[in-house]
A = this chain, B = another copy of it.
Amino acid sequence: MNKEEYFINQFSNKKIIGDDGAFIDGFVYSMDAFFENVHFKKEWMNLKQIAYKSMIVNISDAIVMNAKPIYALLSVAIPKTYSEKDLIDLSKGFKKAAKEFGIEIIGGDTISNEKLDISVTIISKTSNPIYRNGVKKGDLLCYTGTLGLSKADLEKLLKNKEISKKSKFIKPVLNPDFFYEISPYITASMDISDGLFFELERLSKASNVGFEFFYNIDEEIGTSGEEYEILFSFNEKNLEKIKKIALKHKIKLNIFAKAIKGKYRTDCKNHHF
């Protein structure tokens, strides 16, 4: 058990905390940290991109629970050295994400700090939350898009190499419309923030199932984090419906496994930079 899990286990309602957000009475509450030298280095992105990404990784949590984000609170620790222009750039990033997803920034706190540390709380609404514990034996497992590029880009950054401004590592792309449309036809979902293999471990634990892979998935693909693609499960009878919706939204589907009796564990190491 890692430190994070250990700490979380100190609180009673593990089930709720284990999901991307907590669903209570029609609302989903989620909160994620986005800290300098933990999640990003300031050389890697400009301030607008950093603020934008800090919002997007949180909004992603809401979407994969089938919730529509409505409000955000921001805790922003700002280096004393930042200029007024820096603050405007930061606020532009927050506002861009808020506007894109129809979110109102309703409050928060700003303080002076050694480095830029952001925590974002998102309040979302849903009448039909989707959890991690809904995978049924026989369900098909699918992830969207292409995995691997975020890890490759992170490795470039760690070697002080340049990456494309369009890299998902800098600007994750969420697909809320696709997700909301498939939501009636799926049984469980989560976003891929730490890497497919690690998310599958969580899904296995939450739903008490194992997975039979249809093909081998390379480590470079399975351990690529910060992808913000969607991992979901569904009953085979809904395959055609989901394929049709994916085609409409131009989303690539990768149906890679079937849920079986058992338990899934990966031997790969989950290494943050």
Residues of A near any B CB (own CB < 8 A): 3-4, 6-8, 10-13, 16-17, 21-22, 24, 29-33, 35, 37-39, 71, 73-78, 82, 84, 87-88, 90-91, 94-95, 104-114, 117, 119, 121, 123, 272
Contact = CB atoms under 8 A, between A and B. Distances in A.
Contacts of A88: 10
Given A6-B87, A90-B7, A30 B113 contact: no
A109 B8 CA distance: 9
Nearest to A78: B3
A107 B38 contact: no
Contacts of A35: 77, 111, 113, 117
Nearest to A117: B117
A77 B34 CA distance: 10
Given A6-B87, A10-B88, A17 B107 contact: yes
A119 B110 contact: no
A210 to B, nearest CB: 27
Given A71-B24, A77-B117, A113-B35, A107 B10 contact: no
Contacts of A87: 3, 6-7, 10
A75 B32 contact: yes
A256 to B, nearest CB: 28
A111 B39 CA distance: 9
Given A31-B74, A33-B77, A74-B31, A4 B111 contact: yes
Contacts of A111: 4, 33, 35, 38-39
Contact of A78 (B7, B39, B75, B104): B7
A31 B91 contact: no
A75 B88 CA distance: 25
Contact of A112 (B30, B38, B77, B110): B38
A7 B110 contact: yes
A33 B106 contact: no
